[in-house]
Amino acid sequence: MTLSHTIPMTSSTSGQSDNGIRTRASTTEHGTGMATLDSDLRVQAGNDDFFRCFAGSSAELCGRNLFELLRPSSPAVLREHFLRLHDGRRTRFSERVVGHRSSGHPFSGVLTATAVQGSSDGLSAIVVLVKPDNHTPENDPGTQRRLLLSPLEARILEGVATGASTIQMASNLYLSRQGVEYHVGSMLRKMKARNRAALISRAYAAGMLTVGTWPARVVSDFVK
């Protein structure tokens, strides 16, 4: 079954626009790329850094299978990792990969994939982060959005980011399932996100979640 959830277009993500035209990133600095995949591992949407990583426009890359963009040293291992995500046997993995840009120049880096659970506790989407080796994360306060979360909301957001299900979060936080869904719904509205995958995408784009550490944590500046 193919997933229908995608990351909506924002200032830092690109997808199919209303007129059918997808945008190409205009700068060459490679940050941490992020994209959402469907169950067949096709790119559904991504942020500007993802398209910069592979030197292509969203029109060229969206719809392509992730393996068409990578030259992993152990493709069988990488496919097994994704199969385990799909089957619910794990929620996250990281693997070193070699990607190839449309210009023909390869790059090396680390790919991290996370399964995002939906409200029905089934797989909602797979979010991948691609961190090129030459990228040094920078925390620019000027780009952070001042959306503040309560401590409980922060813990729930961290749970969603790790792929925890509603039942797991309810058990860990001593809440009812309805209580967890209430807080998730509140954050979806605050961040104008359509679903959990979009919520995590926007949280990363806003600098709310730490990049390069696991499990991801909400930056203290965004907690009341």
Backbone angles phi, psi at 181, to 5 degrees: -65, -35
Which of 29-38, 115-124, 159-168 is the least confident region? 115-124
Q: Residues 152-173: pLDDT tens digits?
A: 999 999 999 988 999 999 999 9
pLDDT at residue 134 in the model: 64
Q: Give me the residue spans of the domains in the chain.
A: 13-132, 142-222
* Residue range 81-89: mean pLDDT, rounded: 89
Given a cut of 50, is residue 1 above it in pLDDT? no
Q: Name the residue with higher pLDDT: 60 or 122.
A: 60
74: left (phi over 0), alpha (psi -120 to 50) or beta: beta
Helix or strand (DSSP H, E) at 61: helix 58-61
Top CATH class, 142-222: mainly alpha
Average pLDDT, the chain: 78
Amino acid in position 18: D
Distance in angstroms (rounded) separating the CA atoms of residues 152 and 183: 8
| Single pTM value for the model | 0.56
* Residue range 196-211: mean pLDDT, rounded: 81
| Closest listed residue to residue 199, CA positions, set 187, 211, 217, 209 | 187
Q: Name the residue with higher pLDDT: 177 or 70.
A: 177
Given a cut of 90, is residue 187 above it in pLDDT? yes
Backbone angles phi, psi at 194, to 5 degrees: -80, -30
The 3-state DSSP class for residue 42 equals strand
Given a cut of 90, is residue 101 above it in pLDDT? no
Second CATH level (architecture) for the domain 13-132: 2-Layer Sandwich (3.30)
User: Residue 69: which pLDDT band, with cuts at 50, 70 and 90?
Assistant: very high
Burial letters 62-89, b for 16+ CB under 10 A, else e:
beeebeebbebeeeeebeebbeebbeee
